[in-house]
Chain A
Amino acid sequence: MRLVLALLLLFLTACSGQFPQSVFAPRSDFSTELAGLFTNIFWWAVAVFVFVEMLLLIAIARFRARPGAAHPKPVHGHTALEIGWTLAPALILVFIAVPTMRAIFATSGHAPEGALRVEVIGHQWWWEYRYPTLNISAYNELHLPVRTAIQVDMTSADVIHSFWVPRLGGKRDLIQGRTNRIAFRADSTGEYWGQCAEFCGASHANMRLRVFVESDSAFQRWVDQQRAAPATPAKGSPAEAGERVFRRSACIGCHTIAGVAQGKVGPDLSHVGGRATIAGALFPNTTETLHRWILNAPSLKPGASMPPQNVSPQDLDALVAYLQSLK
């Protein structure tokens, strides 16, 4: 059985493209360290498994009762054996404990001087990211420069969440009133998937996220875009009508669009049109999903605090056009 597992492991590592949240395809120093540690323990476990299950199988195969056989010898124990099978596992554990302790200190979450600092704040059920040194924020989709040390400080605005992007590192909990840390350096560009790992209420399953690891120039372009004021719709365009709808609807109570509204309940929408996904990385950012989301968010994401909106079809089209224009 463990042999099958080993083969499957190899197979899974080979084609990680199909498994965007697999721990077997690490792409950072942090996740590589953890994968190495797991592999080390795994092979010890396989060895122990094969040895002990073999003993058990041999025992039940060899010593089945046979009619007329003499009564077995009443053996009560064997001191040398007892000492042996106490020491053997203890010895194996040394080979697991030492690398474990080493890895604990190596991954304790302190990035080197000059690392890019990111604050992650958990909300039911979406993610807020702040870049204090760059003076920008992002929502659900985290953008990071490749081969750069990242220091992540985490906390929660409400219940406990857990930030987990398996290919970039192990998970850490986001706890209100505390700050937790992880540090890593992504070693290749790409889109990495993650999601909340600590049960956090009705839509725990729908609290997902994406990390875009980009080249320095692409990252800088993204930063510049976030720093810019939100796009102003052209006169007479559908987007301009949409902005008016936004201004007179309940939207402004909860969402911020710089220069338009300053709601603080939901994510900032100043650059929502530039995101790949909406609703906590739950749906692709398309006209159709935006329509459905605005009309009835709780039906798509149970417990979501955004109430269903009563907007006419024309207003809805305009609103979506406006949101999509906010690159």
Chain B
Amino acid sequence: MKRWLTTTDHKRIGLLYFWTAFGFFLIGGLEALIIRAQLVRPDGGLGVSAETFNQLFTMHGTTMVFLALMPLSAAFFNFIIPLQIGARDVAFPRLNAFSYWVFLLGGLFLNASFIAGPLFGADRLSVAPDAGWFGYANLTSRQFSPGPNVDFWLLGLQILGIASLAAGFNFVVTILNMRAPGMRMLRLPVFTWMTLVTQFLVITAFPVITVALVLLMFDRFFGTHFFLPSGGGDPILWQHLFWMFGHPEVYILILPAMGIVSEVLPTFSKKPLFGYTVVVYSGVVIAFLGWSVWSHHMFSTGLGPIADSVFAGTTMLIAIPTGVKIFNWIATLWGGQIRFTTSLLFAVGFIAMFIIGGLSGVTHASAPSDLQQTDTYYVVAHIHYVLFGGTILGLFAGIYYWWPKMTGRLLSESLGKVHFWLTLIGMNLAFFPMHFSGLLGMPRRIYTYSADLGVARFNQLSTVGAFLIGIATLIFFWNLLRTRWRPANAPANPWDGATLEWAIPSPPPVYNFTVIPTVTSRLPLWQTERHPPMTPLPDRPPAPIHVPGGSWWPMITAFGLPIIAIGALAHLIPIVLAGAGVVIVGIYRWAYEPFEM
């Protein structure tokens, strides 16, 4: 127990990220199922109240983005990146532990809002965030949202932002500085490359949302008017700030999955990735363009024809590097010897589904066309094809691929295939009909709709699909759990992968590599035209390896942040100061700690 609480080992932190994020994924999924159950009938549904429904969809979005998808990617960053670049750990192991604890506590803080009602003299299920995951001003002002709901949201997101920023800096430094000899930038595995790009997006996008949240906090706690037209402020300013973060955030969610697919496809088709440099550069181009498209979320706010034209144009441009990636993935499969493992099925599923999300994206990149689509279920369909069909299928491909490396145990392939087909059928049944309900006039974020709209059938299909996804996820959960009681007998390289993580045992020893390998090619474990496969590493370290011990201080420092947030929530300055004290003492002791217990 103590070894897990004080751990600074990137592999243990990776597993902590995985299980925590998976837990939040189940919670977010449960929220989605209640939403879908409510919408199965028009005119009142199953009786979920408007207030509860608004909390459910707000928390579903917030949970999936910040507590499930980002940290599931982070589980792989933590576990896999140091192995792929031939390092013993990340650059700042204690900062890494700090990121995890801040993430966990921020997630618990946000979800505590579901049961915290009685503390505010209200019912349970009445003080959770309820203004949408995008929290548009001026609905979030004290005047229109007097309760603690929005406070939970803005404080929780600020805590989570600290976790993401700390991890972002950590991984940029790790990837740039901790590479094994010979691991030049253009020899990095594509997953590592996409992680690097993602982390640059994190460290540039999160400050923007942090600023926006701080301004919102001032509006709510200290009576300023940054977003309030009644005091000369501007609610559209919030939308600009939020989407300057929010659009890069989409690429923060999708690029790691693209990286995973770029690892899985070559391994299971026994061919190197087609157009490696093009795939890498198109990822970089997507990230750059991702900065110039934020206002396409705001076409209905009336930005004027010039701005609409510019943002429609930049948004369409993104289709080009994305298309290039897809063609390169198909070309990787072309001419290969494809093994249909569960991991490969999910990777192919990713491509097939992401195409649909990408194409519906083009229909609302066109600003006038978007005026009939934005804020309807058509957009709900689009984001779920991108974030479920894209990110989640990609993450599943990664889990089946790397689980043996992370735990030493292979997942069941037959359960895996059931999981895959149920998920694929379920997601199409859930999300495809949403295109129709949207274009037939069903707005998003409504707890009830008129039977006369004629969209009840489509909603019923969506609900059936959502529950199929739920069943598939339970099967997957069982697949994960059952490996715990199986012998840890996965071979070092069960799939015949080419990258460095497959050169060491499964699971890797605490020091990762007995000797740091010297890299001479992009595919070190494969025979290529010019390079023989790397010579196997020795079984035992030839010289003793110094491995840093654990530390309590990252966790203790992290605890200070929710204490500050609780103080702010309750308007009790002494608690805020106590929390700040914990952070300061924690950082001080951390800085002066001899890091070799």
B339 interface residue per 8 A CB criterion: yes
B581 within 8 A of A: no
The chain A residue sitting closest to B140, CB to CB, is: A159
Instruction: Give chain B residues whose Cβ lies under 8 Å from the Cβ of A33.
Output: 368
- Chain B stretch 416-445: residues in CB contact (< 8 A) with chain A: 428, 432, 435-436, 439-445
A170 touches B368 (CB 8 A): yes
Could you say which residues of chain A place their CB within 8 Å of the CB of B132?
199
Chain A residue with minimal CB distance to B54? A202
Q: How far is the CA of A231 from the CA of B442 in the complex (A)?
A: 38
Q: Is the CB of B235 within 8 A of A175?
A: yes
Instruction: List the B side residues contacting A5 at CB < 8 Å.
Output: 435
* Option from A19, A55, A109, A204 in Cβ contact (under 8 Å) with B440: A19
Contact indicator B308/A200 (Cβ below 8 Å): no
Cross-chain contact of A20 among B356, B370, B441, B447 (Cβ < 8 A) = B441
Complex interface residues of chain B between 470 and 524 (CB less than 8 A to chain A): none
Inter-chain CA distance A109–B300, complex, in Å, is 12
Indicate if B359 sits at the interface (CB-CB under 8 A): yes
Query: Is the beta-carbon distance between A60 and B368 smaller than 8 angstroms?
Result: no
How distant is B421 from chain A, measured CB to nearest CB, in Å? Answer: 15
Q: Please, how many angstroms separate the alpha-carbon atoms of A82 and B276 in the complex?
A: 11
Q: Which residues of B contact A203 (CB under 8 A)?
A: 50
A108 with B50, Cβ < 8 A, contacts A56-B348, A65-B338 known:
no
Chain B residues 113-157 with CB under 8 Å of chain A are: 131-132, 136, 138-139, 144-145
Q: Are B340 and A64 in contact (CB under 8 A)?
A: yes
Which of B73-105 touch A at CB < 8 Å? none
Q: Which of B1-9, B63-71, B214-222, B325-333 is the interface stretch?
A: B325-333
Identity of the chain A residue whose Cβ is nearest the Cβ of B359 in the assembled complex: A45
Find B275's partner among A1, A38, A82, A162 (CB 8 Å cutoff).
A82
Expressed in whole angstroms, the Cα–Cα distance for A97 and B315 within the complex equals: 10
B330 touches A37 (CB 8 A): no
A143 interfacial by beta-carbon distance below 8 Å? no
Q: Which of A149-184 contact B (CB under 8 A)?
A: 158-160, 162, 164, 166, 169-173, 175-178, 180-181
Pairwise interchain contact A193-B441, C-beta atoms closer than 8 A: yes
- B355 within 8 Å of A by Cβ? yes
Chain A CB within 10 Å — which of B333, B348, B360 has the most? B333
Pair A38/B363 contact, Cβ less than 8 Å: yes
| B443–A195 CB distance below 8 A | yes
Known pairs A38-B369, A77-B274, A107-B368; A85 contacts B324 (CB<8 A): yes
- In the complex, are the beta carbons of A63 and B333 less than 8 A apart? yes
Closest approach, in angstroms, between the C-beta of B448 and any C-beta of chain A? 5
For A45, the chain B residues whose CB sits under 8 A away are: 359-360, 362-363
- On chain A, the residues within 8 Å of B339 by CB distance are 65
Segment at the B interface, from A21-29, A253-261, A268-276, A310-318: A21-29
Contact A97 to B274, CB < 8 A, known contacts A37-B368, A160-B136: no
Q: Of A19, A53, A88, A159, which is within 8 A of B138 by CB?
A: A159
Which of B251-259, B265-273, B539-547, B558-566 faces chain A?
B265-273
Q: In the complex the two chains form, what is the Cα distance from A302 to B586 in whole Å?
A: 46
Whole-angstrom CA separation of A22 from B323 in the bound complex? 31
Whether B368 lies near A20 (C-beta < 8 A) is no
Q: Is A115 located at the chain interface by the 8 A CB criterion?
A: no
Q: Which of A67-75, A132-140, A239-247 contacts B (4 or more CB under 8 A)?
A: A67-75
Which residues of A are found within 8 Å of B449, using beta-carbon distances? 205
Q: Which of A98-106, A211-219, A220-228, A286-294 contacts B (4 or more CB under 8 A)?
A: A98-106
Return A85 CB to nearest CB of chain B, in Å: 4
Q: How far is the CB of B453 from chain A (nearest CB, A)?
A: 6
Contact of B274 among A65, A76, A158, A166 (CB under 8 A): A76
User: When the two chains form their complex, are residues A22 and B439 in contact, meaning their CB atoms are under 8 A apart?
Assistant: yes
Give Cα A176–Cα B228 distance, bound, in whole angstroms: 9
Q: Mark A10-40, 1 if CB is under 8 A from B, else 0.
A: 0010000011111110000001011101100
Contact B136 A63 (CB under 8 A): no
A72 pairs with B323, CB closer than 8 A: no
Residues of B within 8 Å of A37, CB to CB, are: 366, 368-369
Contact of A72 among B278, B308, B335, B351 (CB under 8 A): B335
**Segment with Cβ contacts to A, from B169-177, B372-380, B549-557, B572-580:** B372-380
CB atoms of A23 and B309 under 8 A apart:
no
A49 adjacent to B333 (CB under 8 Å): no
A45→B363 CA distance, assembly (Å): 8
Say yes or no: B440 contacts A34, CB within 8 Å: no
CA distance A125 to B145 in the complex (A): 15
Alpha-carbon separation in the docked complex, A201 to B445 (Å): 10
Contacts of A200 in B (CB 8 A): 139
Collect the chain B residues with CB atoms within 8 Å of residue A178's CB. 229, 236, 302
Tell me, rounded to whole Å, the shortest Cβ–Cβ distance linking A283 to chain B: 10
Q: Does B336 have its Cβ within 8 Å of any Cβ on chain A?
A: yes
| In the bound complex, CA of A104 to CA of B315 (Å) | 15
A214 to B339, CA, bound (A): 65
A86 to B317, CA, bound (A): 11
Question: Cβ of A173: which chain B residues have Cβ within 8 Å of it?
Answer: 300-302
Say yes or no: B369 contacts A100, CB within 8 Å: yes
The CA of A159 and the CA of B581, in the complex, are separated in Å by 39
Contact at B452–A20, with CB atoms within 8 Å? yes
Check A49 against B432 for contact (C-beta < 8 Å): no
Chain B 8-51 residues near chain A, CB threshold 8 A = 49-51
A23 touching B335 in the complex, CB below 8 Å, given contacts A74-B272, A104-B309, A108-B305 = no
Q: Which residues of A contact B54 (CB under 8 A)?
A: 199, 201-202, 204
Once A52-B326, A56-B348, A65-B338 are accepted as A-B contacts, the answer to whether A72 and B366 lie under 8 Å apart by CB is: no
B residues contacting A by CB (< 8 A) are: 49-51, 54, 131-132, 136, 138-139, 144-145, 229-230, 234-236, 269-272, 274-278, 300-302, 304-305, 308-309, 312-313, 316-317, 319-320, 323-324, 326-328, 330-331, 333-340, 348, 351-352, 355-356, 359-360, 362-363, 365-372, 374-376, 428, 432, 435-436, 439-450, 452-455, 526, 528-529
Chosen A-B contacts, 24 in total, with CB atoms closer than 8 Å, are: A21-B453, A22-B441, A56-B330, A64-B340, A71-B270, A72-B271, A74-B271, A75-B331, A77-B277, A85-B324, A89-B323, A96-B316, A159-B136, A170-B300, A171-B371, A171-B374, A176-B229, A177-B234, A197-B374, A202-B50, A202-B51, A204-B446, A205-B443, A302-B51
Q: A23-B372, A202-B51 are in contact. List 7 more A-B contacts (CB 8 A).
A: A65-B270, A69-B337, A75-B335, A82-B275, A85-B323, A193-B453, A303-B50
Nearest 9 CB-CB pairings of A with B: A21-B441, A170-B371, A177-B229, A205-B446, A180-B302, A302-B50, A65-B337, A103-B368, A77-B275
